[in-house]
Amino acid sequence: DAGVTQSPTHLIKTRGQQVTLRCSPKSGHDTVSWYQQALGQGPQFIFQYYEEEERQRGNFPDRFSGHQFPNYSSELNVNALLLGDSALYLCASSLIWGRGTEAFFGQGTRLTVV
């Protein structure tokens, strides 16, 4: 049973560029959340997708957008990259969009903006 998979694992981009990160949730999970983790800090919630719709959003600008596909996989897009966007981007899947279900995290994509 495959866990949460993310691609790519590492990425280097230049300021102003756009990036797309991908996530396949754990088998049977239908909810995907994206988190940004800066070095030495806890993960910060970006947004969550369920039934192909953005259900919740954290305090991130519109430069951050996403998508969920019918097979529950998801993409995170970041436009007009800033140096401050350099971080580990984590995808987490869960069983249902509801209360108190544990999140299974992927290994993350390490994004470096230069």
Partner 1 sequence: GQQVMQIPQYQHVQEGEDFTTYCNSSTTLSNIQWYKQRPGGHPVFLIQLVKSGEVKKQKRLTFQFGEAKKNSSLHITATQTTDVGTYFCAGPKDGGATNKLIFGTGTLLAVQP
Task: Please tell me the count of residues contacting partner 1 according to CB under 8 A.
Answer: 27
Torsion angle defined by CA atoms of residues 96, 99, 75 and 60, in that order, rounded to the nearest 10 degrees: 170
Calculate the alpha carbon distances from 38 to 73, 85, 89, 90, 96 in Å.
Answer: 24, 9, 9, 11, 27
Q: Rounded CA gap, 63 and 86, in Å?
A: 14
Kindly state whether residue 100 participates in binding partner 1, applying the rule CB under 8 A. Answer: yes
For residue 96, the minimal CB distance to partner 1 (Å) is 8
Kindly state whether residue 66 participates in binding partner 1, applying the rule CB under 8 A. Answer: no
For residue 99, the minimal CB distance to partner 1 (Å) is 4
Kindly state whether residue 105 participates in binding partner 1, applying the rule CB under 8 A. Answer: yes
CB nearer partner 1, residue 65 or residue 97 = 97
Kindly state whether residue 58 participates in binding partner 1, applying the rule CB under 8 A. Answer: yes
Kindly state whether residue 104 participates in binding partner 1, applying the rule CB under 8 A. Answer: yes
For residue 15, the minimal CB distance to partner 1 (Å) is 25
Kindly state whether residue 36 participates in binding partner 1, applying the rule CB under 8 A. Answer: no
